[in-house]
């Protein structure tokens, strides 16, 4: 059979994601802070896009009010008062004397020029790190130049929990010194603050803290040095026999050891607090819940008036410039449209969630209903994937607290009465039972399942175990306290 090339027409259907559609989908799943960053970047790159500032809005409102006032007839007395306040008063006032005689509040400094003010960077405070804190102590310690260099190398290998994670040989090779010298410097660094820093394992960390408390040779030091594994397994009687003391003494010492810090460096951790800003506010007005979008912080966008013409300015541009302006104009209009569509979609989803979770808003988490994406999608006439994107990184402020939108979507668990209860409600019930239990006799997972069954919540023991682990609650042996 001969090989030949030929052309033919073929009709087919396929979904094409245009750049504009991709942008709309991307904006839909962004959080508030991410959306603000995207808008700020677009404002910098697109000259056609403009932001309406609050000052301009207020100025336009004042101009409108002034125009309405000028249209109204004024009496002679009003005209006279206006001239007196606007001209004579300004001529008679000595502004220099006014500023010199102004009594500034205590502690406030007046600057004649903005250039005299300290920069914003100079008044910011930086959170100290564990590395900085240890280096500060090292520089205050009387040590030789070589020891300081070894100490700096050791500090550079201390992790955020305060543990020395390198070997003595690695530090010795890096500083070209002997290992005994490295160990000597490490012992000096282990006397630094916070207590326990520079340890190579948990046992050494706790022993350093006990020694710095002046408890060398105590029962606590003996237990940590020789019986730490038995202490973890709560073999108190075995430890008591080995140490030749009463079990009560072991329990008291174990209680003291529990007060020590296993991660001394975490007080200088760099984890910043994540502040969450609600996207939706839900307020109760009478018997109905009102859904309001939070537009604070979102720029009010518009097309720059300089580019809004009747085509006269376009005739003065060459072909390339006109094509550039038209492209930026389409991009700006699509961004504004996409943001408006995003806000409308969030509002519809929030409205539907409020309708389904009315009992939760009225009575609390125990009345949270099972809800899936399909329920909301069918309610507002959208696809499930759209609902999934909307509920990502979006938060709702309700009378019951602040929750992510995904929190309201839960699988259902059947009850003894034939109804369904949300899995989050079951987790909350397990948490309440554990918090109310006797720490000396904690409930097993089987007992938790029996207590839930008493409340018409029939779930298997392995399901209780799964929910308990999701809540980061230890097993009964781990929760047991004897002191």
Phi-psi region of 427 (alpha: psi -120 to 50; beta: other; left: phi over 0): alpha
DSSP-based three-state secondary structure for 136? helix
| Cβ neighbour number for residue 427 with a 10 Å cutoff | 18
Cα gap 135→82, rounded to integer Å: 68
Domains and CATH numbers, the chain: 130-268 (no CATH), 280-295+312-408 (no CATH), 412-479 (1.10.10.60)
Q: Are 280 and 346 in contact (CB under 8 A)?
A: yes
pLDDT for residue 354 is more than 80: yes
Q: Band the pLDDT of 66: cuts 50, 70, 90.
A: low
Confidence grade of residue 75 (pLDDT, cut at 50, 70, 90): very low
Task: Give CA separation, 375 vs 132, 283, 290, in Å.
Answer: 54, 23, 21
Q: What's the CA gap between 451 and 456, in Å, rounded? A: 9
| Residue 223 contacts residue 233 (beta carbons within 8 Å) | no
Tokens of 243: 């140490």
For the cut 90, the answer to whether the pLDDT of residue 348 exceeds it is yes
- What are 151-174's pLDDT values in tens digits? 999 999 999 999 999 999 999 999
Cβ atoms of 208 and 196 within 8 Å: the answer is: yes
Residue 214 region by backbone torsions, left for phi larger than 0, else alpha for psi between -120 and 50, else beta:
left
* Residue 265 to residue 162: CA distance in whole angstroms: 4
List, in sequence order, every residue forming a beta bridge with 302; answer none if it has no partner: 50
pLDDT tens digits, one per residue of 405-439: 999 988 777 666 656 778 888 888 899 899 888 88
pLDDT recorded at residue 32 = 82
Tokens 């008493």 map to which residue? 454
pLDDT: is 310 or 43 the higher one? 43
Q: What is the pLDDT of residue 424?
A: 84
Lowest mean pLDDT among 98-107, 137-146, 322-331, 405-414: 98-107
Is the separation of the CB atoms in 464 and 448 below 8 Å? yes
Longest Cα separation, the chain: 107
pLDDT, residue 100, reads: 46
Confidence at residue 223, expressed as pLDDT on a 0 to 100 scale: 94
Which residues fall within 8 angstroms of residue 288, CB to CB, at 6 or more apart? none
Q: Are 164 and 158 in contact (CB under 8 A)?
A: yes
Mean pLDDT of 177-199: 94
Quick: pLDDT tens for 6-16.
888 888 776 66
Q: Which two structure tokens, joined as six digits, stand for 224?
A: 């940590």
Q: Is 245 helix (H, G, I), strand (E, B) or coil?
A: coil
């Amino acid at each position: 059979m001969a090989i030949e090339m030929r052309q033919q027409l073929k009709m087919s259907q396929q979904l094409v994601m245009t750049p504009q559609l991709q942008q709309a989908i991307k904006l839909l799943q962004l959080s508030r802070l991410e959306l603000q960053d995207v808008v700020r970047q677009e404002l910098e790159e697109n000259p056609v896009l403009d932001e309406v500032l609050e000052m301009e809005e207020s100025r336009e409102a004042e101009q409108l009010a002034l125009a309405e006032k000028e249209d109204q007839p004024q009496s002679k007395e009003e005209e006279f008062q206006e001239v007196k306040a606007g001209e004579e008063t300004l001529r008679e006032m000595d502004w220099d004397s006014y500023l010199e005689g102004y009594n500034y509040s205590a502690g406030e400094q007046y600057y004649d020029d903005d250039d005299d003010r300290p920069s914003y960077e100079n008044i910011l405070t930086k959170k100290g790190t564990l590395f900085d804190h240890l280096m500060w102590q090292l520089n205050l310690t009387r040590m030789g130049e070589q020891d300081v260099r070894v100490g700096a190398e050791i500090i550079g290998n201390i992790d955020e929990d305060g543990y020395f994670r390198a070997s003595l040989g690695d530090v010795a090779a890096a500083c070209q010194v002997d290992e005994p010298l490295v160990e000597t410097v490490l012992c000096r660094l282990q006397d630094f603050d916070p207590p326990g820093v520079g340890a190579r394992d948990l046992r050494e960390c706790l022993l350093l803290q006990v020694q710095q408390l002046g408890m060398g040779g105590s029962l606590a030091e003996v237990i940590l040095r020789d019986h730490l594994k038995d202490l973890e397994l709560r073999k108190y009687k075995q430890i008591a026999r080995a140490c030749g003391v009463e079990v009560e003494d072991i329990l008291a010492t174990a209680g003291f050891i529990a007060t020590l810090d296993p991660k001394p460096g975490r007080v200088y951790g760099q984890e910043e607090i994540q502040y969450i800003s609600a996207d939706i506010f839900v307020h109760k007005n009478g018997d109905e819940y009102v859904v309001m979008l939070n537009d604070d912080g979102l720029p009010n966008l518009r097309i720059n008036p300089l580019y809004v013409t009747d085509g006269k300015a376009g005739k003065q541009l060459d072909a390339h410039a006109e094509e550039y302006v038209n492209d930026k104009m389409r991009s700006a209009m699509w961004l504004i449209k996409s943001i408006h569509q995003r806000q409308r979609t969030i509002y519809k989803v929030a409205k539907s969630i409020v309708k389904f979770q009315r009992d939760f808003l009225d009575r609390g988490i125990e009345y949270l209903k099972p809800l899936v994406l399909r329920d909301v999608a069918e309610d507002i006439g959208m696809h499930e994937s759209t609902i999934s994107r909307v509920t990502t990184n979006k938060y709702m402020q309700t009378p019951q607290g602040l929750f992510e939108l995904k929190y309201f979507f839960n699988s259902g668990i059947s009850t003894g009465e034939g109804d369904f209860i949300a899995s989050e409600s079951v987790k909350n019930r397990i948490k309440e039972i554990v918090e109310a239990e006797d720490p000396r006799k904690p409930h097993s997972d089987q007992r938790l399942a029996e207590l839930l069954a008493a409340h018409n919540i029939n779930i298997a023991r392995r399901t209780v175990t799964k929910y308990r682990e999701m809540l980061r609650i230890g097993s009964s042996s781990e929760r047991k306290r004897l002191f």
